[in-house]
Structure 1
Amino acid sequence: MMTFHRSDSARQVGRGIAGALMLAAIWELSARGLDLPAYVLPSVSSILSGMAGDAATLLQAARFTASEALAGYVIGCLIGMALAVLASMLPNVRSVIVPLATAINSVPVVAYSPLVLLWFGMGMASKIVMVAVAVSITIFLSTIAGLDRVDRKSVDLIRSFGASQLAILWRLRLPTALPLIIAGMRVSTVRSVIVAIVTEMLGAYGGLGWVIYQAVLQIDFVKVWAAIIVASSISLAFFGVISFVERRYVFWK
């Protein structure tokens, strides 16, 4: 079974690489064949050349953004899961938290960025807060949905053996909810990077969003694309790590 999963994963990675190479080739041929200006679509070779020339700047910005996204992601996951567990165990708390989370989630998270920048400044703290808010809402909603999936008869059965509410949560409800929790975590990987970059574009001292904003002001569209590709690479790596964890530890789904 483990060999099957590994070979299947290897095939998926191989298809992904082949698809990326095919897209890059079509992109390169289109940009050069149609003689497109850089502000419309620069060639892949010019972007790679720009990435090599600005490697130090892009790597520093990537570390900045990745640190913000990772810190906010971890904090958001912990907050989201804690609130979901609390809401599932206390109906009165649930009646308050669920409508509030739904209301916050109905508005694009970046709409809160100006307020967060005003409260926490233009440093890393404001980006971490924004990522944590975005991730915590996603994780909360997926966790609460997972906890609600538990079979009522199973709860009654384990309770008949004298299991406490915490034992039921740990032995039955959380394992049942884990597939939805990990799915929310997987979706949140990309969301965390997006929110960090958008918030950086609105006000920052560093990061890929700041690099993109400065490059637009300087009309350096090759650098814009270079930063976008680096950001995409971070998102894909982050997504891949959580997907690996999902396949490794949530195998029963």
Structure 2
Amino acid sequence: MLSQKTLIRLAPWLVILFLGVLWEAIVVGFKVPEFLFPSLSAVWTATLTHWDPIMMHATQTFLTTMAGFGIAVVFGLALGAAVGSSPVVYKALYPLLVGFNSIPKVAFVPVLVVWFGIGTIPAILTAFLISFFPVVVNVATGLATLEPELEDVLRSLGASRLDILKKVGLPRAMPYFFASLKVAITLAFVGSVISETVASNLGIGYLMMAASSAMDMALVFAGLIVIGVMGVVMYELFAFVERRLTGWAHRNPNGAM
């Protein structure tokens, strides 16, 4: 019998294996045309055949995504700290932030193309626009939910508002911050790929659009899988850092992160 710890480690791989076998069996068993829905073996063959261009476009997408994500983290952390530490700023900006986040970010792509032209900059800005909101909200929530009693005790000991923010508020908001990073990085990939499908001649989004125009659905699915793998890798990286830096905030280290 496998131990619970071993089963937890193997569970994702077992699910992936099961879904891969099911995918192959459905496509082969029902003889689905490859131009509609390729088999997993066809996707694997396309990946090996087009490995060099896939890696070139994947590198472009990864760098673009990380640039937009990095800007989102810096901007989101600063704005979240301002919103969460001041009730006035919270009331003034939060409705605007919610309204802005409600706008589909694909609607900004044509505007960004007019301003900056076709290429990398619209993709970076789209990744930024779609990923900064979770950072702002989570950091603001972590700061705004600081217990009033704790603030009163710290003020009675002579701590200023800035001292409370630096020594208590921000450390307490770190679990919220890392939770937002895991969400924001996946959204950043979505933003960059959206922009690449519309206004770029590089990146996985562009590769998928070119492949779909040629009815090469195996290459399209290869691009989708590459994006998924990059998203999972970055998510797990931030989850690892989160466990190392904020392990005190999680009672069950084997639970969902």
Instruction: Bin the TM-score by the shorter chain.
Output: over 0.9
Tell me if the contact between 2:84 and 2:142 (Cα under 8 Å) persists in the aligned partners. no
Deviation track 1:145-185 (CA, whole Å, cap 9, x = no partner) reads: 11111100001101111111111001111122211111111
- Mapped to 1, the partners of 2:120 and 2:222 lie a distance apart of 22
Partner of 2:107: 111
- Mapped to 2, the partners of 1:55 and 1:207 lie a distance apart of 14
- Mapped to 2, the partners of 1:65 and 1:29 lie a distance apart of 32
Is 1:132 equivalent to 2:133 in the alignment? no
After TM superposition, the structure 1 = structure 2 runs for residues 9-158 of structure 1, keeping only pairs within 5 Å, are: 11-158=7-154
After TM superposition, the structure 1 = structure 2 runs for residues 186-225 of structure 1, keeping only pairs within 5 Å, are: 186-225=182-221
Is 1:168 equivalent to 2:164 in the alignment? yes
1:94 Cα deviation from its structure 2 partner: 3.2
Partner of 1:181: 177
Tell me if the contact between 2:68 and 2:188 (Cα under 8 Å) persists in the aligned partners. yes
Match of 1:249 among 242, 245, 249: 245
The two structures, once aligned, show a CA RMSD in angstroms of 1.6
1:87 Cα deviation from its structure 2 partner: 2.5
Tell me if the contact between 1:149 and 1:177 (Cα under 8 Å) persists in the aligned partners. no
After TM superposition, the structure 1 = structure 2 runs for residues 228-243 of structure 1, keeping only pairs within 5 Å, are: 228-243=224-239
> Could you tell which deviates more after superposition, 117-126 or 152-161?
117-126
Q: TM-score, normalised by structure 2?
A: 0.91
Partner of 2:255: none
1:188 Cα deviation from its structure 2 partner: 0.8
Deviation track 1:23-65 (CA, whole Å, cap 9, x = no partner) reads: 1111111111111111332111111000000000000010000
How many residues get paired?
A: 247
Which structure 2 segments of 5+ residues have no match?
250-257
1:213 Cα deviation from its structure 2 partner: 0.6
Q: TM-score, normalised by structure 1?
A: 0.92
- Mapped to 1, the partners of 2:185 and 2:231 lie a distance apart of 7
Tell me if the contact between 2:143 and 2:172 (Cα under 8 Å) persists in the aligned partners. yes
1:9 Cα deviation from its structure 2 partner: 7.6
Residue identity opposite 1:170 in structure 2: K
1:88 Cα deviation from its structure 2 partner: 3.2
Tell me if the contact between 1:198 and 1:209 (Cα under 8 Å) persists in the aligned partners. yes
- Mapped to 1, the partners of 2:131 and 2:107 lie a distance apart of 15
Local SS of the residue matching 2:248: coil
Tell me if the contact between 2:83 and 2:89 (Cα under 8 Å) persists in the aligned partners. yes
Tell me if the contact between 1:193 and 1:235 (Cα under 8 Å) persists in the aligned partners. yes
- Mapped to 2, the partners of 1:39 and 1:157 lie a distance apart of 67
Deviation track 1:51-107 (CA, whole Å, cap 9, x = no partner) reads: 000000000010000001111111101101101112234444333321211111112
Cα pair distance change 1:210/1:10, threshold 3 Å: farther
Partner of 1:4: none
1:109 Cα deviation from its structure 2 partner: 1.8
- Mapped to 2, the partners of 1:140 and 1:222 lie a distance apart of 38
